Structure 1
Amino acid sequence: MRSVSEIAAPSSDWALAASIGLNTNILEINLINLILVVGILFYYGRGVLINFLESRERTILNTIRDAEERHEEATKKLQKARIRLQQAKVKADEIRINGLTQMDREQRDLVDAADKDLKGLEDSKNFAIRFEKQRAIEQVRQQVSRLASERALEGLNSRLDNQLHLRVIDYHIGLFRAMRNKSD
């Protein structure tokens, strides 16, 4: 029975392998050993490397596709947000204009109400002034009338004697008779 080394390589090959040999000393590696190692790695590692690179390529492509989808979705959301922003600006302008219009209307209403109240107060003041003026004039008339009556009475009392008193009575009696005769 043969050993595993004899099956893998005939004994004549071992002599050749022993003469070539691999130098495992890293500091003494020569160009041939390096090419040999790279060749072995390329030959046996090629499938693994290709599978790894293909898997990596699929992952990258999926990531790019997902990123593009997210970009499209974000672009759509951005567009919708811009539309909503524009609508909000239009609505804000409408609200501002309505507010300014309402403020102007209320200001005019307040000014009109204040003018009306002022006119009412002015009319009330003028009425009060006229009333007080008339009352003051009436008081002055009454006082002047009373003073005139008092002075006249004093003057009559100082000049009135019995003789003058009888003449005044006779005069008035004569006036009454004349008035009565005219009316009959």
Structure 2
Amino acid sequence: MKNLTDSFVSLGHWPSAGSFGFNTDILATNPINLSVVLGVLIFFGKGVCASCSEIEREKVNLINATSYSLEQLENYKNETLHFEQQRAINQVRQQVFQQALQGALGTLNSCLNSELHFRTISANIGILGAMEEITD
């Protein structure tokens, strides 16, 4: 216990540091070691920063490429939808035309008797003959 008390008492009797000042002893302040450490940090830090910026550039390039690909996919999707829509419209037109033609033929066949049929054919032959005379 006495040793412990003596150690605390000796701590209280340390001499004061005196006044504030600069230490000009090169070996005591160690600027050589500090400059070596700073030089190594700067040398290897450049490589780390360069690789970080390269990674960031690659990341931006990948994001841009992905954005362009998504834009192209959106355009292809819209073109496909437009093509399918046009195809559906053409199918409906064709079906409407077929139904109208079938209806017209059905109406003509039900309304035409043999005499009316003969007169229609004669009139059409006359029209074709007149067209042939005009072209000659």
Q: Secondary structure at the match of 1:82?
A: helix
2:82 alignment partner AA: R
**Corresponding position of 2:52:** 100
Task: Name which one, 1 or 2, has greater alpha-carbon Rg.
Answer: 1
For these two proteins, the number of residue pairs brought into alignment is: 109
Instruction: Return closer, same or farther for 1:90/1:156 CA change in 2, 3 Å cut-off.
Output: same
**Corresponding position of 1:171:** 123
Q: What are the superposed Cα offsets for residues 39-84 of structure 1, whole Å, 9 maximum, x if unpaired?
A: xxxxxxxxxxxxxxxxxxxxxxxxxxxxxxxxxxxx5xx6654333
Structure with greater helix percent = 1
Unaligned runs of 5+ in 2: 1-26
State the 1:93 CA deviation: 2.9
Q: What are the superposed Cα offsets for residues 6-61 of structure 1, whole Å, 9 maximum, x if unpaired?
A: xxxxxxxxxxxxxxxxxxxxxxxxxxxxxxxxxxxxxxxxxxxxxxxxxxxxxxxx
State the 1:87 CA deviation: 2.1
TM-score by length of 2: 0.69
Provide the aligned C-alpha RMSD in A: 2.1
Separation of aligned partners in 2, 1:165 and 1:80: 120
The one of 52, 73, 78 equivalent to 1:121 is 73
Separation of aligned partners in 2, 1:105 and 1:119: 21
**Corresponding position of 1:139:** 91
* Structure 1 runs (4+) greater than 6 angstroms displaced: none
Unaligned runs of 5+ in 1: 1-74
- 1:76-115 alignment, distance < 5 Å: 81-115=33-67
Identity across matched positions, percent:
34
- 1:1-184 alignment, distance < 5 Å: 81-184=33-136
Separation of aligned partners in 1, 2:63 and 2:116: 73
TM-score by length of 1: 0.52
